[in-house]
Amino acid sequence: MRILMLIFIYLLSMFLTGCQSLTAVNSQHNIELKNISYSQYYLLLSGFNETQLATEISYQQSRLVEEKNKDKNHDLVWQLKSVILHSLPSSPVHNPFTAKSKLNRLSLDTLQTQKVAVADFAFFKMLRSQLNQQIILLNKLTVEKKSQQGIKQAYQKQLLEFQYLQQQIIQLKSIEKNINEHG
């Protein structure tokens, strides 16, 4: 009986926590980090559509202006949220270069001294690694696209030369035919 009671309490607490996060999802621009970690914030945002993300971006930008004078830590919170918003692939402001740049400005030492939770510190360290890999792949893709474009241009040039040579061959055959006929 005691075990059932503990299981019931555990399940009840899980359901209440679940309801709390559903409430956060439903209130598009009222996401507070007092109760959720940055990794949870990332997961929450990943479930948003583009309109909801745009609303969250606007909300966070307006909060930055409002809270900057009141709370010095809010600037760090905004910067970390901004990193997440720029690193999220479905975000209208998705840009891994910007996200990495913002994260670089907040060195890992800064995150440790600002008393960011260990799990959040690990999350941003992992995010930095992921952004590095993404940037490396994007740079390789850019190089490959330029190479492909160069190959395509060379192919087009050779195709034009081939067509020109074909026309010359036709003209030479026509001249040869005329010479043979007039003998």
Q: Count of domains in the chain?
A: 1
Q: What is the DSSP letter of 116?
A: -
Q: Which residue segment(s) compose the domain that 50 sits in? A: 31-131
Q: Confirm whether 136 is domain-assigned.
A: no
Q: Could you report the per-residue pLDDT of 28-62, keeping only the tens digit for each? A: 444 454 557 888 888 899 999 989 988 998 888 88
Alpha helices in 28-117 (DSSP H): 38-46, 50-68, 72-87, 96-105, 108-113
Residue 9 pLDDT? 61
Q: Confirm whether 113 is domain-assigned.
A: yes
Q: Confirm whether 101 is domain-assigned.
A: yes
Q: Could you report the per-residue pLDDT of 48-100, keeping only the tens digit for each? A: 998 998 899 888 888 777 666 666 666 778 888 889 999 988 889 989 999 99
Burial string for 11-24 (b: 16+ CB within 10 Å, else e) reads eeeeeeeeeeeeeb
Q: What is the DSSP letter of 114?
A: T
Q: Is the pTM of this model over 0.75?
A: no
* 107 against 8, higher pLDDT: 107
∠ Cα 87 138 132 (to 5°): 55
Q: Confirm whether 95 is domain-assigned.
A: yes
**pLDDT over 70 at 145, yes or no:** yes
Let me know: does 45 contact 21? Beta carbons within 8 Å: no
Residue 50 pLDDT? 87
Q: Confirm whether 38 is domain-assigned.
A: yes
Q: Confirm whether 10 is domain-assigned.
A: no
Residue 3 pLDDT? 60
> Which of 14-18, 52-56, 141-145 tops mean pLDDT?
141-145
Cβ-based burial of 130 (10 A; exposed 0-12, middle 13-18, buried ≥19)? middle
Residue 11 pLDDT? 53
CA distance 39 to 29: 17
Let me know: does 18 contact 42? Beta carbons within 8 Å: no
**pLDDT over 60 at 22, yes or no:** no
Q: Confirm whether 97 is domain-assigned.
A: yes
Mean pLDDT, to the nearest integer, of 11-37?
49
Q: Confirm whether 151 is domain-assigned.
A: no
